[in-house]
C-alpha cells in the first residue's frame, strides 16, 4: 500500500498528470457550476461550504503533488494557485444571473487550500541531507 501511495502522490514522473488533473477538475467545477439549477440541485446533498472545502482542498493536493520543488515551495505555490483559481471561479459566477460571486466562498477556498497544504507539508517525505563526498 505504501508503494502505491508513494507512486500516486510522490513519484515525480506523474507530476504533469497531477497538474493536468487539477486543471481538468477546476474546469469541470466552472462548467458544472454554470449549468442552470445544478448548484441548487447539489445543494440538497452538500452545503456550499462543504462543496468549496472539499473541491479546493482536493485541487490543492493535486497541485502540491504536481509541483517539483521543496515542500515549502509546493505549499506556497499551491495556496497561491488556489487563491487565483477560486477568485476566477467567483468572477465567472458573477456573469450568470442565476449565480453570484461571494467573497465568503473565496475565503473558504483559500482556507481549505491553506489547511490542505499544511497537511501535505507535514506529511511530505523529507530526504536526508547528504554530506559532500559522502555516498
pLDDT in tens, 93-117: 888 887 888 899 999 999 999 999 9
Residue 44 lies in a domain: yes
Residue 131 inside a domain? The answer is no
**Domains in the chain: how many in total?**
1
pTM greater than 0.95 (yes/no): no
Domain presence at residue 29: yes
Taking only the tens place, the pLDDT of each residue in 5-44 is: 888 888 889 999 999 999 999 999 999 888 887 777 777 8
Q: Within a domain: residue 20?
A: yes
Residue 52 · residue 108 · CB < 8 Å: yes
Q: Where residue 135 falls among pLDDT bands split at 50, 70, 90? A: very low
Q: Report whether pLDDT(130) > 50.
A: no
pLDDT higher than 50, residue 134:
no
For residue 53 the three cell numbers come to: 472545502
Cell 477556498 belongs to 109
Mean pLDDT, the chain, whole residue set = 88
Is the model more confident about 75 or about 8? 75
3 state SS of 122: helix
Residue 134: inside a domain, yes or no?
Answer: no
Residues 113, 83 contacting (CB under 8 angstroms): yes
- Closest of 111, 115, 133 to residue 123, by C-alpha: 115
Band of pLDDT at residue 129, cut at 50, 70 and 90: very low
Determine, yes or no, domain membership for 130: no
Structural domain boundaries enclosing 23 = 2-123
66 SS3 class = helix
Which set of grid coordinates corresponds to residue 22?
487539477
Q: Does residue 128 lie in a domain region?
A: no
Angle between helices 103-123 and 48-66 (to 10 degrees): 40
Amino acid at each position: 500500500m505504501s508503494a502505491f501511495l508513494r507512486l500516486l502522490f510522490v513519484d515525480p514522473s506523474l507530476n504533469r498528470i497531477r497538474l493536468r488533473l487539477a486543471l481538468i477538475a477546476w474546469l469541470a467545477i466552472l462548467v458544472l457550476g454554470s449549468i442552470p439549477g445544478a448548484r441548487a440541485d447539489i445543494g440538497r446533498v452538500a452545503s456550499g461550504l462543504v462543496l468549496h472545502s472539499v473541491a479546493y482542498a482536493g485541487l490543492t493536493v493535486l497541485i502540491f503533488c504536481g509541483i517539483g520543488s521543496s515542500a515549502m515551495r509546493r505549499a506556497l505555490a499551491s495556496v497561491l494557485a488556489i487563491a487565483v483559481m477560486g477568485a476566477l471561479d467567483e468572477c465567472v459566477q458573477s456573469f450568470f444571473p442565476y449565480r453570484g460571486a461571494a467573497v465568503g466562498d473565496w475565503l473558504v477556498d483559500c482556507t481549505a487550500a491553506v489547511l490542505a497544504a499544511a497537511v501535505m507539508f507535514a506529511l511530505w517525505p523529507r530526504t536526508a541531507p547528504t554530506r559532500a563526498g559522502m555516498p
